[in-house]
Amino acid sequence: MSDEQTTIAWTAIETHWTVLSSDGEEIGDVYAVVGDRQADIFNGLALTRRGGPALVHEVVDKPRYVASEQVASIRPGVVVLRLTAEAAERLPEHDAAESLRILPDEASLGERLRRRRDPGAGDRDED
């Protein structure tokens, strides 16, 4: 088995790792890993075209979201996508706030309905 075929756990992915397209082109860096480590749920990645401070990504190089299903392999320092470089250009912007609105499985029906009416509900600490 070659290094290119080796896949490691998604939890090992770190920011600034290189992201390659299925056709071998470097398309960016990992900006954030989206998922729940405690529940071992990998949703996807936010990636940027170039590294640099977070402020740059808020203005110029906004992170793009790629779903976990589009990740072909994970090697130390490198994530390879199932998408070509051309397809990766059309990835949607990553909405970090969206990932924060995911409710746990044990959320009550009332909490789920409240969250549907007011997406910001529950984001505030009430303790």
* pLDDT 10s digits, 89-119: 999 988 876 544 455 556 566 665 565 555 4
Of 38, 34, 32, 11, the C-alpha closest to 104 is: 38
Q: Which two tokens stand for residue 107?
A: 């959320």
Question: In the predicted model, what is the mean pLDDT of residues 27-51?
Answer: 89
* Predicted TM-score (pTM) above 0.85: no
Question: In the predicted model, what is the mean pLDDT of residues 22-32?
Answer: 94
Residue 33 has pLDDT above 80, yes or no: yes
Q: What pLDDT score does 40 carry?
A: 92
Q: Which residue has the higher pLDDT, 115 or 77?
A: 77
Give CATH superfamily name and number for 3-96.
Answer: PRC-barrel domain (2.30.30.240)
C-alpha distances in Å from residue 83, one per residue of 55, 61, 71, 98: 27, 20, 8, 23
